[in-house]
Amino acid sequence: MGTVTPLPFHIRTVPQQTGFERPELMRILDLYGRMVAAGHWRDYAMDFHRDAAIFSAFRRAAERPEYRIEKRPALRSRQGMWALVSEAGAILKRGDELANVLAPVERKLMKLVGD
């Protein structure tokens, strides 16, 4: 018969960029919308890199972001892949679940609405 030629098996490569999954993005944008409705945030930006996806929320577009929500899948087994970073760059909260990381901002929203 003929010669059997093996098909080349592709080795899993590192993804070109990290992104948010739909439920994660829905949760983040829901919080963003509520903060906009409260009059606290006015703008946002999303950055997608090879090792991280970052959502930044701004009080004004010309300033540094008040909060950054970072997803770093490489830290999943160590410190947790989600981090809430302040305007000064300090990590306020880190964890495995997005809801727990967003809790400090949710509490701040409750104070804004209550005033």
Domain ranges of the chain: 22-114
Query: 3-state DSSP helix/strand/coil percent for the chain, to nearest 5?
Result: 30, 25, 45
What residues does 58 pair with on adjacent strands?
Answer: 43
Residue-wise DSSP of 26-51: HHHHHHHHHHHHTTS--EEEEEE-SS
- The arithmetic mean of pLDDT across residues 83-93, rounded, is 92
Higher pLDDT, 8 or 97: 97
Q: What is the pLDDT of residue 32?
A: 93
Residue 38 in this model has a pLDDT that exceeds 80: yes
H helices of 1-115, in order, are 22-37, 98-114
Tokens of 56: 């930044």
Residues 4-28: pLDDT tens digits?
Answer: 877 777 666 656 788 899 999 999 9
Residue 80 in this model has a pLDDT that exceeds 90: no
